[in-house]
Amino acid sequence: MAPQTATTYVSKTQHYLKVKKPLLERQRRARMNSCLDTLKTLVAEFQGDDAILRLDKAEMLEAALVFMRKQLIKQQAPVSPVPMDSFKNGYMNAVSEISRVMACTPAMSVDVGKTVMTHLGMEFQRMLQSDQQPQLETSAISRPVSPASSGYHSDAEESESAASPQPTSSAMWRPW
What's residue 173's pLDDT? 58
What's residue 139's pLDDT? 44
Domains in the chain: boundaries:
13-76, 84-130
Query: Model confidence at 25, in pLDDT bands (50, 70, 90)?
Result: very high
**CATH fold of 13-76:** MYOD Basic-Helix-Loop-Helix Domain, subunit B (4.10.280)
> What is the mean predicted confidence (pLDDT) over 45-53?
81
DSSP code per residue over the chain: -PPPPPPPP--HHHHIIIIIHHHHHHHHHHHHHHHHHHHHHHHHHHHT-GGGGGS-HHHHHHHHHHHHHHHHHHHHSPPPSHHHHHHHHHHHHHHHHHHHHHHH-TT--HHHHHHHHHHHHHHHHHHHHHHS---S-SHHHHS---GGGGS---SSHHHHHHH------SSS----
